[in-house]
A and B are shown apart, each in its own frame.
Chain A
Amino acid sequence: DSGVTQTPKHLITATGQRVTLRCSPRSGDLSVYWYQQSLDQGLQFLIQYYNGEERAKGNILERFSAQQFPDLHSELNLSSLELGDSALYFCASSATWAGPPATYEQYFGPGTRLTVT
């Protein structure tokens, strides 16, 4: 058990819909990362937050957004869903650090499997 929790575990929804994925980092970790894992793209970094502030953006679509709340949990919002958004979405957290590179190992949650039909 990594200490990172994600809900829900599975999500099935229809095209055009909007969903919210939730993540709670390990106790004490201020950094939260979101990754997408799909068969064709592999593991792709989406976005990172540090203590409530967005720090880095990767290959995140404009239809996707995220935020980190004062209690450090994070939510990833996916809207206008398409079939191609079906994937495993991971949240990870890491210990405090001052800047790049990401020196500390990231601990991953169990993931949310999103299926868009």
Chain B
Amino acid sequence: AQKVTQAQTEISVVEKEDVTLDCVYETRDTTYYLFWYKQPPSGELVFLIRRNSFDEQNEISGRYSWNFQKSTSSFNFTITASQVVDSAVYFCALSSNDYKLSFGAGTTVTVRA
């Protein structure tokens, strides 16, 4: 069975602070994919990033960066210099040896001006 744990329920920061969201996953499969999605107050789910299990290279895309470590089964996500528009619920998700996405419970990020 696969499982995604986002231990942080809520994070509140002041604008321009960095925010790091933790994600720990469980799967017995050697091939899997990890995703981050954002759900702003308007409700839609927006795809942010994808990483496969064979590529542990960490990247930066604009103000987003991620840290994938297979040794600790973690896939953390950082927003640099946060802005009010970053306020949303962020979901980590895992796709393993089936067709679905398994989501974590989500972390609510509030960025205050």
Contacts and interface: CB of A to CB of B under 8 A. Distances in A.
B75 to A, nearest CB: 14
Interface string A74-117: 00000000000000101010000000111101111111010000
Nearest to A106: B101
Contacts of B46: 2, 108
A25 B6 CA distance: 29
Interface stretch (B12-20, B61-69, B77-85, B89-97): B89-97
A110 B46 CA distance: 10
Given A43-B91, A100-B97, A105 B47 contact: yes
Interface residues of A, number: 26
Nearest to A101: B95
A106 B50 CA distance: 10
A48 B99 CA distance: 8
Contacts of B95: 100-103
Given A43-B103, A90-B45, A111-B43, A105 B96 contact: no
B99 A108 contact: no
Nearest to A103: B33
Contact of B102 (A45, A88, A106, A113): A45
Interface string B15-28: 00000000000000
B47 A45 contact: no
Contacts of A8: none
B99 A56 contact: yes
B64 to A, nearest CB: 14
Contacts of A103: 33, 52, 95
B35 A56 contact: no
B55 interface: no
Interface of A: 2, 31, 33, 35, 42-43, 45, 48, 55-56, 58, 88, 90, 92, 100-103, 105-111, 113
Interface of B: 29, 31-33, 35, 37, 43-47, 50, 52, 91, 95-106
12 contacts: A31-B99, A42-B105, A43-B103, A90-B45, A100-B97, A100-B99, A101-B97, A102-B33, A102-B100, A103-B33, A105-B47, A111-B45
